[in-house]
C-alpha cells in the first residue's frame, strides 16, 4: 500500500510515467490478476483456528487500504493507467457492497470504539472512489448521529478508548479516524471539523481535551502501560491546519514536524474523489 501511494505521488509530482506505471503494475497484481488478486471481502479476517473462521473486528485490518483509492486519483492523470484504475474501482465497489451488506460488516459498523469509526472511514472513502456521493453522505449522517455522540463525551474525552490499557495510544489512533472522516467530508463541502452533535460533542473538543496531555504526557490520568507514545499522528497534524488552536499549532511545529510525521502517519492523499 505504501509503495503504491509513494509511486503514485512520485509519478504525479515528478511527471514520471514509469513511476505511475509501476504503481499500476502492483495494483494489477493485488486487485485484478485472476491468479494473484485478493477477493473483495473479509470473510476470513482474523480467523482463529478452532475458534472462528473470521470475525467482523478483522475489518479494521484493511483501514490502511484507503490509500489505494487516493493513489488511484493520481494515477488517473496517467492515460496508460486508466484501465487499471477502472478495474480497481470495480473491485472496491464489490468490497463496499460486502462491507455494507454482510453480517460481519454490520457487526463492525455497530461494534463501537475505534472499530466503528475506522469502518466508516473505509465506507466513505470507497463510496467516493466508486462515484456514489449520496452513499457517502448517508455514511456521514451515520457518523453524525451514531459515532460522534456515542464515542465522544461532552468534555471531549473518548469514552471507550479511556478504558484501554494503552488509553493514550488508542485515543490518538482513534483521532486519526475522526480526522480522516473530517477530510473526506470536505470533499462533499461539509465542515465536520467544527460540527457539533446535539450533546455538544465535536472533534474540536476532542482536540482540546487531548492538548494539555500532549504538552505534558506524564500527567495523563488513565492507564497507559506502554511507555512510548508515537507522535506521528495524522489527526493532530490536520487539526493544526484546519482549526484555529494556537497551542496545537505551536506543539505541531515543535514535535510533529521535527519527527517527519508526513512520512510516517497514514496519508490520505488527494481529496479530488468525485
Rounded Cα distance between 235 and 173, Å, is 8
**Cell numbers for 203:** 472533534
Q: Is the confidence at residue 264, as pLDDT, over 50? A: no
Q: Would you state the pLDDT for residue 259?
A: 57
Helix (H, G, I), strand (E, B) or coil at 245: coil
Q: Would you state the pLDDT for residue 232?
A: 76
For residues 215-222, average pLDDT? 94
- Of the pLDDT bands very low, low, confident and very high (cuts 50, 70, 90), residue 270 is very low
Nearest to 268 by CA among 19, 41, 9, 13: 9
Using CA atoms in the order 253, 237, 164, 206, what is the torsion angle rounded to 10 degrees?
A: 100
Q: Would you state the pLDDT for residue 233?
A: 86
Rounded Cα distance between 224 and 165, Å, is 5
Q: Would you state the pLDDT for residue 84?
A: 98
Q: Is the confidence at residue 260, as pLDDT, over 60? A: no
Q: What percentage of the chain reaches a pLDDT higher than 70?
A: 93
Q: Is the confidence at residue 215, as pLDDT, over 80? A: yes
Q: What percentage of the chain reaches a pLDDT higher than 90?
A: 82
**Cell numbers for 220:** 495523563
The crossing angle, in degrees rounded to 10, of helices 167-186 and 113-129 is 20
Q: Is the confidence at residue 268, as pLDDT, over 70? A: no
Which is it for the CA torsion 177, 186, 210, 161, positive or negative? Answer: negative
How many CB atoms are closer than 10 A to CB 227? 5
**Cell numbers for 193:** 471539523
The crossing angle, in degrees rounded to 10, of helices 67-75 and 113-129 is 20
The count of residues in the chain is 274
Q: Would you state the pLDDT for residue 187?
A: 87
- CA separation, residue 191 to residues 173, 182, 187 (Å): 21, 7, 10
Kindly report the average pLDDT of the chain as a whole number: 91
* Cβ–Cβ < 8 Å for 59, 108: yes
Better pLDDT: 220 or 230: 220
Q: Would you state the pLDDT for residue 170?
A: 97
Helix (H, G, I), strand (E, B) or coil at 158: strand
Q: Would you state the pLDDT for residue 258?
A: 62
Please give the DSSP secondary-structure letter assigned to residue 147: I
Which residues does residue 224 pair with via DSSP β-bridges, in sequence order? 166
- Of the pLDDT bands very low, low, confident and very high (cuts 50, 70, 90), residue 254 is confident
Q: Is the confidence at residue 103, as pLDDT, over 80? A: yes
* Cβ–Cβ < 8 Å for 240, 211: no
For residues 75-96, average pLDDT? 96
Burial group, residue 110, by CB count within 10 angstroms (0-12, 13-18, 19+): exposed
Q: Would you state the pLDDT for residue 271?
A: 43
- Which range has the top average pLDDT, 62-71, 88-97, 234-243? 88-97
Residue-wise burial string across 23-56, b where 16 or more C-beta atoms lie within 10 A, e elsewhere? bbebbbebbbeeeeeeebbbeebbeeeeeeebbb
For cell 494489477, the residue is: 28
List the single range of 129-143, 215-229, 230-244 with lowest mean pLDDT: 230-244
For residues 76-105, average pLDDT? 97
In terms of pTM, does the model score above 0.85? yes
For residues 94-100, average pLDDT? 98
Amino acid at each position: 500500500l505504501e509503495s503504491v501511494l509513494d509511486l503514485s505521488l512520485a509519478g504525479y509530482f515528478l511527471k514520471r510515467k514509469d513511476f505511475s506505471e509501476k504503481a499500476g503494475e502492483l495494483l494489477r497484481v493485488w486487485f485484478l490478476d485472476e491468479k494473484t488478486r485478493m477477493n473483495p471481502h473479509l470473510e476470513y479476517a482474523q480467523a482463529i483456528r478452532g475458534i472462528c473462521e473470521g470475525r467482523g473486528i478483522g475489518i479494521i485490518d484493511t483501514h490502511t487500504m484507503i490509500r489505494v483509492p487516493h493513489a488511484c486519483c493520481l494515477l488517473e492523470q496517467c492515460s496508460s493507467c486508466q484501465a487499471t484504475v477502472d478495474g480497481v474501482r470495480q473491485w472496491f465497489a464489490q468490497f463496499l457492497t460486502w462491507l455494507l451488506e454482510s453480517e460481519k460488516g454490520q457487526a463492525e459498523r455497530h461494534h463501537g470504539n475505534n472499530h466503528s469509526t475506522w469502518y466508516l472511514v473505509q465506507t466513505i472513502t470507497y463510496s467516493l472512489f466508486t462515484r456514489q456521493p449520496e452513499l457517502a453522505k448517508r455514511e456521514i449522517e451515520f457518523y453524525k448521529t451514531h459515532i460522534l455522540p456515542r464515542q465522544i463525551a461532552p468534555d471531549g474525552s473518548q469514552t471507550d478508548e479511556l478504558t484501554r490499557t494503552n488509553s493514550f495510544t488508542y485515543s490518538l489512533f482513534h483521532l486519526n479516524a475522526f480526522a480522516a472522516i473530517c477530510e473526506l467530508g470536505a470533499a462533499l463541502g461539509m465542515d465536520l471539523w467544527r460540527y457539533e452533535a446535539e450533546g455538544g460533542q465535536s472533534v474540536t473538543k476532542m482536540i482540546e481535551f487531548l492538548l494539555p496531555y500532549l504538552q505534558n504526557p506524564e500527567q495523563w490520568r488513565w492507564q497507559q502501560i506502554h511507555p512510548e507514545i508515537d507522535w506521528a499522528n495524522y489527526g493532530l497534524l490536520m487539526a493544526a491546519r484546519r482549526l484555529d488552536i494556537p497551542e496545537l499549532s505551536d506543539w505541531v511545529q515543535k514535535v510533529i514536524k521535527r519527527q517527519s510525521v508526513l512520512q510516517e502517519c497514514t496519508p490520505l492523499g488527494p481529496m479530488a474523489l468525485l
